Amino acid sequence: MANAADDLAKARPSTLPTTPPARLVAISMRLNTMLQAVKNVRAALDDFYTSLSDEQKSQFNMIGRQHTAQR
């Protein structure tokens, strides 16, 4: 997570580009960085989830359902 957050922070431009094409390039770079961060976090989460026992997986899954129900 920390690496993903660092990468996202580095990908944010310090100033906004002034032309539309340059803004699109900046947005594209930011989206690519975000996609890579999601892939990295997902890989780590998949590894973590695989290491859980069936009971732990059940409890972990319940957390997600409770969070979704609160919306």
- How far is the C-alpha of 26 from the C-alpha of 12, rounded, in Å? 8
- How far is the C-alpha of 27 from the C-alpha of 3, rounded, in Å? 20
Please give the structure tokens belonging to residue 9.
């922070």
**pLDDT tens, position by position, 15-52:** 889 999 999 998 999 999 999 999 999 999 999 999 99
pLDDT in the model for residue 43: 92
Least confident range from 3-7, 26-30, 55-59: namely: 3-7
Task: Indicate the helix (H) or strand (E) that contains 20.
Answer: helix 20-51
- How far is the C-alpha of 49 from the C-alpha of 63, rounded, in Å? 13
User: Is residue 56 very low, low, confident or very high in pLDDT (cuts 50, 70, 90)?
Assistant: very high
Please give the structure tokens belonging to residue 16.
């906004």
Amino acid letter, 53:
S
Q: What is the reported pTM?
A: 0.67
